Amino acid sequence: MTTVADLTLSGRTSVMGIVNVTEDSFSDGGKWLATDDAIAHAHELVKLGADIIDVGAESTRPGATRVPAEVDREPGFNRFVDSGATRVPAEVEAERIRPVIRTLHEDGIRTSIDTMRAATAQAAAEEGVDLINDVSGGLADEDMYRVMAETQLPVCLMHWRADAFVNASGAADHGGDVVKDVHQVLAELVENALAAGVAKEQITLDPGLGFAKTAADNWALLNALPEFIAGEFPILVGASRKRFLREIRADRGLEHSPVDADPATAAVTALSAQAGAWCVRVHEVAVSRDAVDVVARWNHG
């Protein structure tokens, strides 16, 4: 059994570099769709300072397309998935991630699989993945908790309050207190995972910045980050290039593309590391690795 401790660094926050093997991710869709390009990009991110590479093959951005668009409701998906949605078919998702994860594993690079599908998580495990990262927290596929337990891999459970896990647009009703809601839902996800046989030592949590949340919700969660970090489970922060960070520049009348949010992302990385976050998930690795290294050296005098 592999635990989160096996993926934890001594003295600093880990940096997770993102490799989207997709055609439509909000930041870099299509750039790394070819297997060789994805592998080369992963190696470049490691050279820049990534400790683990998060490989995903299905976009959850607002307005994301789902191609080929031929699948409605699949066996194994529970009521949380919109029956009218079309998604990247499971076999396509698996075909995209298998060679990337296999090669990176052979090259000695740690990887995580960003998926809501149990079958894709299983395929990734067969290729040597180190962590299962499910943005639905295990709710989108009724078999996911079982696969998490059977693979005996560390898992990351994210908060995303949704009736349909299709894309991250809109703002859910968090009962007037998003921090309280996220605490409660994450506790429920943990209970689900433990009941399925996932070990406590294998669980990390993600408050789900940008997923069905307003800008105010996201800032409230970041302000409350020390509360989450003080809890029982390691915390992953995924703020990279999110809309609420881009709005900082937009409010000043400046260019505000996803890439323009990298400085703000680095600021969030530094503050998250100072608060004690276990890991930050980022697109632009170099500046965020600099940020966590600055925090580590600052704290160690």
pLDDT at site 30: 62
Q: How confident is the model at residue 210 (pLDDT cuts 50, 70, 90)?
A: very high
pLDDT at site 82: 45
| Least confident stretch, 59-63, 128-132, 152-156, 263-267 | 59-63
Q: How confident is the model at residue 173 (pLDDT cuts 50, 70, 90)?
A: confident
- The fraction of the chain above a pLDDT of 70, given in percent, is 86
Among residues 183, 177, 131, the alpha carbon closest in space to that of 159 is found at 183
Taking only the tens place, the pLDDT of each residue in 69-123 is: 333 334 443 434 444 456 788 999 999 999 999 999 999 999 999 999 999 999 9
Residue 213 a catalytic site member: no
pLDDT value at 18 more than 90: yes
Quote the CA–CA distance of 301 and 295 in Å, as a whole number: 10
Tell me which of 61, 242, 243, 246 is the catalytic residue.
Answer: 242
pLDDT, greater one: 273 or 64: 273
Q: What mean pLDDT do residues 159-181 have?
A: 83
The two three-digit tokens of residue 271, written as one number = 């503050």
| Least confident stretch, 40-44, 46-50, 58-62, 144-148 | 58-62
Tokens 């881009």 identify what position?
A: 246
- Domains of the chain listed by start with CATH number: 4-300 (3.20.20.20)
pLDDT value at 61 more than 80: no
Q: What mean pLDDT do residues 138-142 have?
A: 96
CB of 280 closer than 8 Å to CB of 236: yes
Residue 241 a catalytic site member: no
pLDDT at site 301: 87
Taking only the tens place, the pLDDT of each residue in 147-168 is: 999 999 999 999 999 866 766 6
pLDDT value at 134 more than 50: yes
Q: What mean pLDDT do residues 57-79 have?
A: 48
pLDDT at site 244: 97
The mean pLDDT value of the chain amounts to 90
HEC string of the chain? CCCHHHHCCCCCCEEEEEEECCCCCCCCCCCCCCHHHHHHHHHHHHHHCCCEEEEECCCCCCCCCCCCCCCCCCCCECCCCCCCCCCCCHHHHHHHHHHHHHHHHHCCCCEEEECCCHHHHHHHHHCCCCEEEECCCCCCECCHHHHHHHHCCCEEEECCCCCCCCCCCCCCCCCCCHHHHHHHHHHHHHHHHHHHCCCHHHEEEECCCCCCCCHHHHHHHHHCHHHHHCCCCCEEECCCCCHHHHHHHHCCCCCCCCHHHHHHHHHHHHHHHHHCCCEEEECCHHHHHHHHHHHHHHHHC
Among residues 101, 103, 107, the alpha carbon closest in space to that of 153 is found at 101
- The fraction of the chain above a pLDDT of 90, given in percent, is 80
pLDDT at site 86: 62
Tell me which of 98, 243, 281, 289 is the catalytic residue.
Answer: 281
pLDDT at site 59: 75
Q: How confident is the model at residue 256 (pLDDT cuts 50, 70, 90)?
A: very high
Q: How confident is the model at residue 42 (pLDDT cuts 50, 70, 90)?
A: very high
